[in-house]
C-alpha cells in the first residue's frame, strides 16, 4: 500500500474510532485502542490491507514516531493488567 493510501485509510480509521468513542482522541490514544481492542485491530488491518498484527503495529510506529515515545503508551504497556492478544496468543507486556 502506498503512503498516501495508508495515510488516508489511517485517517479514516482514526475518525471512525473517535465517532465510536464519542471523543476526540489523539494518536497515542488511538494506538492504545488498536492494541487493546482486537476488533478495532481487525478493522484497521482490513482497511490498510495488512496481513499480520506485527506489520500493522510497526506501520503506525513508522508513520507516527512520537507514539513510541508517549508516556501514555508506556504506562498502558507497563500496567499489571495489560494483556494484548496478538495472533490469537495472549501476551503480557512489560517495557
Instruction: Tell me the pTM.
Output: 0.75
Count the domains in the chain: 1
Phi/psi class of residue 87: alpha, beta or left (left: φ > 0; alpha: ψ in -120 to 50)?
left
Q: What is the pLDDT of residues 34-48, one digit of tens each?
A: 888 889 999 999 988
Range of the domain at 67: 3-92
Please give the grid coordinates belonging to residue 4: 498516501
CA–CA separation, 10 and 19 (whole Å):
14
User: What residues contact residue 9 under an 8 Å CB cut-off, 6+ apart?
Assistant: 1, 47, 48, 49
- The pLDDT value recorded for residue 86 is 65
Percent of the chain topping pLDDT 70: 82
- The answer to whether the beta carbons of residues 48 and 63 sit under 8 Å apart is no
With the C-alpha atoms ordered 70, 52, 81, 26, is the resulting torsion angle positive or negative?
positive
Average pLDDT, the chain: 82
Amino acid at each position: 500500500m502506498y503512503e498516501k493510501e495508508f495515510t488516508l485509510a489511517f485517517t479514516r480509521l482514526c475518525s471512525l474510532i473517535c465517532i465510536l468513542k464519542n471523543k476526540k482522541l489523539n494518536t497515542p490514544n488511538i494506538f492504545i485502542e488498536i492494541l487493546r481492542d482486537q476488533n478495532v485491530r481487525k478493522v484497521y488491518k482490513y482497511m490498510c490491507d495488512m496481513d499480520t498484527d506485527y506489520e500493522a503495529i510497526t506501520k503506525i510506529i513508522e508513520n507516527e514516531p512520537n507514539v513510541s515515545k508517549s508516556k501514555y503508551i508506556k504506562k498502558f504497556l507497563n500496567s499489571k493488567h495489560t494483556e494484548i492478544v496478538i495472533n490469537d496468543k495472549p501476551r503480557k507486556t512489560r517495557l
